[in-house]
Structure 1
Amino acid sequence: MHPSINDAPQGQLLAAGLLYLGIIGLGISSEVLLRGPLIDWTDSTATTWAIATGESRFRLSLGFDLVMAGFDVTLAVMLFHLLRGVDEMWALMAMAFRLMQAAVIAANLLFLVAAQDAIKIGADPLPCLRMHAAGYDLGLAFFGVNALLMAGLLCNWGAPRLFAWGIAAAGLVYLAGSLTRFLAPEWNAAMQPAYLVPVLAETALMAWLLWRGLRPA
């Protein structure tokens, strides 16, 4: 008999939900609100000026990504602890792929530092920023595999099937995004709206973990 969500300590569920909340909030804030508006992929001069005049904002986005990676490592270990009784091998693989994603994304932050250094010496920052964007998609390939493994674990843990299927769909979107980025870039732009699926699926899972952690015993 597999352990279920009902056997999990509420404090750990709450902690997992809070970590997920932090990861989603930091990731969206960093990429969409802070760094994204500074980058014009078609205009190196405008991008250089925006980053130079908004240096503190750019650095804050880098800090947010670094904290997000730390939260991801912590959440990976916590989810392994919660789900290892369902299937230890699958839980271990899920943790390993999530840790790989965090490692790639954290190492990839060096390209943001390189972009700042390029600006200081009068060079074009866009090549470094493009490498960072590609590296981020590379990290999401590992996260896509993690999501597919997590979907199976969640199903057997007693999570609502809708949430588990949503995480599986998110995994497929991440994998498709990464594969098209590197193997079929002409299709990559067309599938960008599909990233709404992971946002909704992971937000729903985060809210469910918070609810299970906060509800009266």
Structure 2
Amino acid sequence: MNKQASFSNKKTARIAGLLYLVVVLTGIFSLAYVPSKLIVWDNAPATVLNIKTAEFLFRLGIVSSLVCYTFFLFLPLALYRLLKTVNGNWAKLMVILAVISVPVSFVNVLNKFAVLNLVGDDSYLKVFTNDQLQAQVMFYLNLYNSGILILKIFWGLWLFPFGYLVFKSGFLPKILGILLMAGCVGYLLDFSGAMLLPHYDAMGISSFIRLPASIAEIGTCFWLLIMGAKESPTGKISA
């Protein structure tokens, strides 16, 4: 085996792992940590007060989101370089389904910029009462969440060709491939439940449905970052 090609394959895997790590960490911070600290969905006054009191944290969440989506633009390209020798068509499909979510993600963040404007002290806001401002803040936060719901379709779909490529690669653990494909199903079920069942959030099953995806993506991230990728049994390697 060409030693230079082997080194290149491992280096590409670790670059992909590093990109994935940034996506995971910034995603957890912006999608889970910040909302848990600031947003009280059934209490608009408390939510507005939290955002005003910890405005820097809210702004940090926005920046974290933008960093996450920027790195997610490059992640599938690095994975494509690593996995294109397994199946070129599936690798292209993986990239398309991942990248298509990025512009939607950036546009969706505009809802959070709207919230920032509403909690500010600009003079034009004085025409609104406190109740009206609070209602608008919750409106844009809910609109942002609706955008996230739409994005779950693509966050799920790209995992299926990704999982298939990992499963077939021969140089990455098959179990990660299986979990990634299961994660695709989980995301789509989560979207369907939220759309079709009025009290879906109150059921508390969303996190369990998305568990395979969480395990698979974090596991794949650390495997690529720490272990890299070996030569496949067939000798095919991404140079």
Q: Report the alpha carbon displacement of residue 189 of structure 1 after superposing the two structures with TM.
A: 4.1
Corresponding residue for 1:203? 218
What's the counterpart of residue 168 of structure 2? 156
Greater alpha carbon shift after TM alignment, 52-61 vs 73-82: 73-82
Against the structure 1 CA distance between its residues 214 and 156, is the aligned structure 2 distance closer, same or farther, given a 3 Å change threshold?
A: closer
RMSD: 2.0
% identity of equivalent residues: 26
TM-score (structure 2 length as normaliser): 0.82
Q: Which residue of 2 aligns with 1:19?
A: 19
Moved beyond 6 Å, runs of 4+: none
Q: Is the 8 A contact 2:13 2:79 kept in 1?
A: no
TM-score of the pair, normalised by structure 1:
0.89
Q: Distance in 1 between matches of 2:89 and 2:7?
A: 20
Q: Per residue, is there more helix in 1 or in 2?
A: 1
Q: Are 1:77 and 1:95, in contact at CA under 8 Å, matched by a contact in 2?
A: yes
Cα distance in 2 for residues equivalent to 1:105 and 1:114: 15
Letter in 2 for 1:135: G
Find the structure with the greater CA-based Rg: 2
Which residue of the partner structure matches residue 62 of structure 2? 62
- Unaligned regions of 5+ residues in structure 1, if any? 1-5
Residue 193 (str. 1) matches residue 207 (str. 2): yes
2:152 to 140, 143, 146: 140
> In the alignment, is the contact (CA less than 8 A) between 2:168 and 2:174 conserved in 1?
no
Conserved in 2, the CA contact under 8 Å of 1:98 and 1:142?
yes
Three-state SS of the structure 2 residue aligned to 1:85 is coil
Q: What does residue 50 of structure 1 align with?
A: 50
- How far 1:147 sits from its partner (Å)? 0.6
Amino acid at match of 1:192: S
Quote the offset at 1:7 in angstroms. 8.5
1:179 aligns with 2:192: yes
Q: In the TM superposition, what whole-angstrom CA distance separates every residue of 1:121-169 from its partner, at most 9, and x where no partner exists?
A: 3512111001111111211211111011111111111222211111111
- Separation in 1, partners of 2:104, 2:192: 16
